[in-house]
Every structure is written in C-alpha cells, then in structure tokens.
C-alpha cells in the first residue's frame, strides 16, 4: 500500500508541478516558482512519510552516498549564508529533490513482479507532464491568452519563461522516445510519436540555445550505445518506431517555423539567428554569460569550502562584479536571482565539495546506465537505461547554461526520471550488493534519515504556504494594509519589505518605515533602494 501511495504521489506531483501557478502579476517570477515549490515539497513530504511507514532497512550505494553528501554539505553551507531565508529556500529544494529521487528509485524497484510496471508508470507520467507543459507553451504561441501566462518571455506557458519550457522538453525528450518505442500497442506508439511533434515544435519556438545544444549532445552521445544495444532489441519493432518518432519530430519542427504565430520576434529570421548563435560566446548574451561565470568563480575562489550559502548568489555577487556588468540592474542588485548556470551557482554558493558530489551522482548514474545490460530483465529495460543516459546528458547540458536544478519544476522532472530509470538496474545492484558495492544500514538509521527529511519538508511546505498567502494578501498591490499584511506572512521577502518601507518613507512616516527598511537591507545589503530609505529616515546601517 505504501509503495502504491509513493507512486501515485510522484505521478500526481510531476503533473501538478508543471501546471501550478498563481495569478498575482505583481510577483512576476515567484507567482510561478512558489506554487511549484509547494507541490515539490508536499510530494517530498508524502514520500518521506511513506518511507517511515514502510520501516525497511536502508540500502545505500555510491550514488545515494554522493547525493546525501551534496545535501548535507548544502545544509552546512546554509549556516554561513548572509540571507538565511534564501538559504532555507534553496536547501529545501535540494532536500525535496533528493527525496523525489530516492522515492522514485525505491518505488521503481519495489517488488520483483511489479517493478517494471512501476517504472513505466512513473516514466509515462513524467513524459505526459512534459507534453502537457509543452502544449501550454504552444497554446500561448498561437494566441491563447490567460492571466496565468506572461508576455515577458513568451511562449512560457505555465512556467512563465520560454527557456524554462525548453529545458523541461529537453529533459523529458529521451524518456518520451522510450515511451514511443516500447509501447505495448501500436496506437499508443503512434500517440507518443505525435507527442514528439509537439515537443519538437515547442523546442523550435522557444529559441533556447541551451535546449538545442542539449538535444544535439544527447543524440551525439547515444548514437554508439544505441547501435551497440541493438542485439537486445533487434527482434522488436524499435527501429521502425524510432524512425517514425524522428519523422514526426522533424515535421513538427518544420510546421512551427512556417505556421504564423503571435510571437513578437524582432528579427525577420529569428530561428535561424538563434541557430547561428548557439555557440557564440564572444558577443551579446553569450559574452555576458562568460563575464558572469568569471566573476562568480572569483566568488567561489574567495569561499572555496562552503561558498556564500545556497541561494545567496544574488546577495554576494555585487561585491565581485565590476561596474558595467550586465548581470547587475540599476538598483544595485542582480537582474536575476541566479547565475546563468546551475553549476556556477553550486560552486559559488555551496563550494567545491558539493559540486564534486553532485557531479559524482550524474557520473555514476551515467556509467551505470551503460553497463551490465546482460543483467537486465528485457529489452525494454536496456532501452530504459539508454533513456536514463540521455536524460543525464540533457540535464547536465541545460543546467550548464541556465537555472534548471535550482527550480522546482525541472528539478522534480529530472530527479523523478533519474530515480525511476535507475531502478531498472535492480537486478544488477543485487549482484553488486553481493560483491560489497552497497551498504545495508540499520532500520534506526533509515528512520533517522526519513525523519530528518520529513522535518525539512514540513518546514518547506509551511514556508511555501506562507509565501503563497503573502502574495494572495498583497493581491494587485493597491493598498498599503495589504503590503503590510504580506510582510507579516512572508518576512523573508525583500520585495514586500522594501515596498512597505518605500510607502511609509514617501509619506514621511519613518517610524513605521524603519523596521521594514532594516529588514530589506539585511536581506540584500547591496540594495540601493534599501539604503536610500535608511538615509532618508536617519537609520544607521
């Protein structure tokens, strides 16, 4: 029963995390991020609770140990953060992501008879969620309007940013191909092939160079393994179905180019221009990224062990950025709350140990995906391993050029797929256990780990809930009382505290402005707006 609950929670969660969004446009980024984080944390809490109910011994391999090290090091790094609200938020996302991975891995490997069915159920849910969120992007591109979409980075659909949609599509593409080529019925295989056209069209319209690079890298890396693995699936209809999937994907991409849409591109040949700039890092945004990476690495060199604290890149980056840095806004803060790379964020915020641990997770999963195919039960499991390798490649590439694992929706999708697909090696791991490559921990250790995860996820659910309430309380931002109440619900929000301080300071009510100004300045010491209010009201920094 607990195993079925885990599977249902993960299936429902990966769909909900794609669609969850609030309508409060005053909070243009957080109205997407906060509800998705709430879904991630709630799903992680239920999975952790299920693990406690099952009360089984803990089997740990090198991948589990490295992921645990990454989470523990992130927690240690959070102690040294300047902004502990941001640190808690980033730490919570990492903990919940790890729980999703472990839950999916155990759910996919649970029960000798039902393991394959559980793995397929989880991977189908992940693929379906990818297609659904891609459809919301296409809907916006072709004229569908709703208050839950934003025009800032269209067609972003229910993720609010076309690049985020493209990252999701790139991560979910390999397992969608797997669903198509291993479908039990011909009609099901056809439907998944048509889904490939949807994903391809979304990738083209997104103009996301990171996603395009990720898909190209995935294809390049998997060509040889696919040929080598042919002896395991050559008697099945894999080749024909794969060819049909590729054909529909090409048709979908071509239609996206020629069909008129509602996107306001400034170029006469936007898709060709993006293709030309895929590897251009000597000019434009590419040059800005290189400068940002260089300055962020200076930050990492100054704090090599624990970094500046998870989530604290925007708090500390200003100290290391020269004048004219494109990552800085006019208010003395960073234009985005993260660098244009997960890995740059991890090394600058959490230190070299955390980066090596997380890199080790992907490396061990990738190597494991290409080994011991003879120990797998059938051809579908071998192809699942190839999908696992493909997902690792796409995830690593897109996360190298943008925020991916730092965000709830792509993190949920990626760790769910990695966990479920990694479970295809259950039989191989059983043999490894006999050779001493895994460690059996006691039941008490297992309960301690699960209880710790429950504690963190409960706190994370509470924090995300209060953030959502704060946004709902502020609403459209028309009344002062609403902003003040929002600050009570979410004292860690720089935006709300700074807004209240500005309102009171503009009215000459410095007595009321002071506590909010102090709080805003403590959250972001580099904020020129917070310092301006403090000077006006005679507040000493």
Question: Under DSSP, is residue 60 helix (H, G, I), strand (E, B) or coil?
Answer: strand
Q: Provide the token pair at 365.
A: 């999963």
State which residues of the chain have pLDDT below 70.
Answer: 1-2, 54-58, 110-116, 266-285, 425-444, 446, 541
Q: Catalogue the long-range contacts made by 366-371 (C-beta closer than 8 Å, 24 or more residues apart).
A: 366/392, 366/393, 368/63, 368/422, 368/425, 368/428, 369/421, 369/422, 370/225, 371/428
Q: What is the structure's pLDDT at 440?
A: 59
Instruction: Give me Rg for the CA atoms of the chain.
Output: 24
**86 neighbors 402 (Cβ within 8 angstroms):** no
Q: What is the structure's pLDDT at 323?
A: 75
* Torsion, Cα of 392, 396, 399, 401 (10° steps): -140
Strand partners, 59: 440
User: Which residue bears the tokens 């208010």?
Assistant: 331
* CB-count exposure of residue 284 (10 Å: 0-12, 13-18, 19+): exposed
* CA-angle at 65, arms to 413 and 4, nearest 5°: 45
Residues of the chain by 3-state class (helix, strand, coil), percent to 5: 75, 0, 25
* CB-count exposure of residue 415 (10 Å: 0-12, 13-18, 19+): buried
pTM value > 0.85: yes
Tell me how far apart the alpha carbons of residues 279 and 281 are, in angstroms, rounded to a whole number.
6
For 310-356, list the strands marked E by DSSP. Answer: none
For 408-471, list the strands marked E by DSSP. Answer: 439-441
Strand partners, 440: 59
Question: Under DSSP, is residue 208 helix (H, G, I), strand (E, B) or coil?
Answer: coil
| Dihedral pair phi/psi, residue 250, rounded to 5° | -65, -45
Smallest CA-to-CA distance from 350 within 392, 389, 296, 404 is with: 296
Question: Under DSSP, is residue 80 helix (H, G, I), strand (E, B) or coil?
Answer: coil
| Cα dist from 538 to 506, 532, 535, whole Å | 14, 10, 5
CB atoms within 10 A of CB 443: 11
* CB-count exposure of residue 404 (10 Å: 0-12, 13-18, 19+): buried
For 375-411, write each residue's pLDDT tens digit: 888 889 999 999 999 999 999 999 999 999 999 999 9
Q: Provide the token pair at 497.
A: 């505290």
Tell me how far apart the alpha carbons of residues 32 and 141 are, in angstroms, rounded to a whole number.
18
For 236-259, write each residue's pLDDT tens digit: 889 899 999 999 999 999 999 999
Q: Provide the token pair at 412.
A: 């949920």
Q: What is the DSSP string of 1-33?
A: -HHHHHHHHHHHHHHHHHH-----TTSTTHHHH
CB atoms within 10 A of CB 104: 29
- If you ran DSSP here, which 8-state letter would residue 57 be given? P
Smallest CA-to-CA distance from 36 within 486, 462, 411, 495 is with: 411
């Amino acid at each position: 029963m607990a195993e079925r609950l885990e599977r249902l929670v993960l299936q429902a969660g990966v769909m909900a995390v794609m669609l969850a969004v609030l309508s409060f446009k005053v909070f243009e980024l957080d109205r997407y991020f906060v509800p998705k984080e709430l879904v991630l944390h709630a799903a992680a809490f239920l999975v952790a609770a299920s693990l406690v109910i099952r009360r089984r011994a803990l089997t740990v391999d090198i991948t589990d140990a490295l992921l645990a090290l990454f989470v523990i090091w992130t927690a240690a790094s959070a102690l040294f953060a300047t902004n502990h609200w941001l640190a808690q938020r980033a730490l919570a996302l990492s903990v919940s992501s790890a729980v999703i991975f472990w839950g999916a891995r155990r759910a996919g490997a649970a029960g000798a008879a039902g393991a394959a069915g559980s793995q397929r159920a989880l991977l189908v849910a992940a693929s379906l969620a990818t297609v659904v969120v891609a459809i919301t992007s296409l809907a916006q591109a072709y004229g569908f309007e709703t208050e839950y979409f934003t025009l800032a980075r269209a067609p972003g659909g229910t993720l609010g940013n076309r690049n985020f949609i493209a990252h999701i599509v790139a991560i979910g593409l390999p397992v969608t191909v797997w669903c198509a080529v291993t479908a039990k019925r011909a009609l099901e295989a056809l439907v998944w092939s048509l889904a490939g056209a949807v994903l391809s069209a979304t990738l083209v319209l997104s103009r996301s160079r990171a996603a395009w690079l990720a898909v190209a890298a995935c294809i390049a890396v998997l060509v040889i393994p696919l040929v080598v693995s042919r002896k395991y699936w050559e008697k099945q209809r894999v080749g024909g179905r794969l060819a049909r999937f590729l054909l529909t994907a090409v048709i979908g991409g071509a239609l996206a180019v020629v069909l008129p849409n509602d996107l306001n591109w400034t170029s006469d040949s936007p898709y060709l221009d993006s293709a030309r700039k895929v590897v251009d890092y000597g000019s434009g945004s590419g040059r800005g990224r290189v400068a940002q990476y260089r300055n962020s690495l200076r930050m990492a060199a100054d704090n090599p062990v624990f970094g500046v604290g998870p989530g604290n890149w925007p708090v500390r980056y200003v100290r290391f950025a020269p004048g004219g840095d494109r990552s800085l806004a006019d208010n003395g803060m960073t234009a985005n709350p993260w660098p244009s790379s997960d890995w740059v964020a991890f090394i600058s915020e959490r230190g070299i140990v955390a980066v090596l641990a997380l890199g080790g997770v992907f490396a061990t999963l990738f190597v494991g995906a290409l080994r011991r195919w003879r120990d797998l039960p059938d051809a579908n499991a071998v192809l699942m391993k190839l999908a696992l390798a493909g997902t690792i490649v796409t995830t690593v590439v897109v996360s190298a050029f943008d925020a991916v694992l730092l965000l709830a929706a792509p993190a949920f999708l990626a760790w769910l797929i990695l966990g479920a697909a990694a479970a295809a090696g259950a039989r191989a791991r059983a043999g490894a256990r006999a050779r001493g490559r895994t460690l059996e921990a006691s039941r008490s250790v297992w309960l301690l780990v699960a209880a710790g995860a429950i504690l963190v996820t409960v706190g994370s659910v509470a924090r995300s809930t209060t953030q959502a309430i704060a946004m709902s309380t502020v609403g459209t931002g028309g009344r002062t009382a609403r902003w003040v109440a929002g600050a009570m619900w979410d004292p860690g929000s720089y935006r709300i505290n700074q807004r209240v301080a500005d309102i009171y300071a503009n009215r000459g009510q410095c007595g009321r402005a002071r506590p909010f100004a102090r709080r805003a300045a403590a959250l972001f010491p580099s904020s020129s707006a917070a310092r301006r209010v403090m000077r006006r009201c005679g507040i000493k920094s």
